[in-house]
Amino acid sequence: MAHADDVIHGATLTFVRGAMKRALLSREREFELATSWRETGDQTALHELINAYTRLVIATATRFRHYGLPFGDLIQEGNLGLMHAAARFEPEREVRFSTYAAWWIRSQMQDYILRNWSIVRTGTTAAHKSLFFNLRRLRARIDNGAGPAQLTAEQRGRIAAELGVTVKDVADMEGRLAASDQSLNAGVGEDQDVEVQDFLVDDRPGPETTTIEAHDRRLRLKWLSEALGALSPRERTIIAERRLREEGVTLEELGRELGVSKERVRQLEARAMGKLKAALERLAGDERDVFAVS
């Protein structure tokens, strides 16, 4: 922790010093504590396991300090990762808890950095995450820090191949990391009376479009409600459970609920859909209009 006192203060410094003094656990003690916590919910065992490896949090936070985020915040995120590791660790897999926890700690901190490094999101996919934390290092290795302002096509290809991402992902992240955040209130032009935000395009639907879409939704719901009224109670139940839920129930589950076989449910569903289609065509002219995307 060289020079840590220069940038860490107060409670965070006390936490760091205390964490670095704690002894690491043996493999046998790790297994004993993790098993006790997993099988009996032993809070004392959990605290000993967590406290023994807060030094992993400190070490990982030190690696990410150059991103300019508060050291104390990095430690808090790392502690969350440590808790996630303890909650998910399976001692019977014979993997050291320290090895397992290190991945969770690093992942939690990386997600925090991606969320807060810039007011412009740098991406959340696995490819973006890998590029964010490795692009500068790989670029420095490729051109020894003396290359052009932008990567060449060949260099982008080499980086993409090494990280298992697309060349487009490399180009996109290169542009994001090269750009800097700019205030929307920054002046434009010589008189500075016009701000950057004045040139932003509002691509949201206008009032007329919004009103039309709302009217169409109400009309489609009215048609659907009337069409469902033409079905028997059992048919309405089948359509509601199978077609109108985000995750429809299976034929077998519905058969048990209705006291019939799943084949009978399938037959009833097919008949109900036929009746529903006919009713919607009578009301709307084309049943597809009822389910049109706004």
4-116 with 207-289: one CATH topology?
A: no
b/e burial code for range 32-71 (CB count within 10 A of at least 16 → b):
bbbbbbbeeeeeebbebbbebbbbbbbebbbebeebebeb
Domain ranges of the chain: 4-116, 126-178, 207-289
* Most trustworthy range by pLDDT among 124-128, 138-142, 178-182, 184-188: 138-142
Q: How far apart are the first and last CA of the chain?
A: 57
What confidence tens digit (pLDDT) does each residue in 20-73 have?
777 788 888 988 998 888 888 899 999 898 888 888 888 888 888 777 678 888
Tell me the CATH number for domain 4-116: 1.20.120.1810
pTM greater than the 0.75 cutoff: no
CATH architecture of 207-289: Orthogonal Bundle (1.10)
More confident residue, 4 or 14: 14
pLDDT for the residue numbered 6? 41
Beta bridge partners of 33: none
Q: Which of 173, 193, 177, 175 is nearest to 185 (CA)?
A: 193
> What tokens appear for 285 in the block?
């002219």
Q: Which of 287, 269, 285 is nearest to 277 (CA)?
A: 287
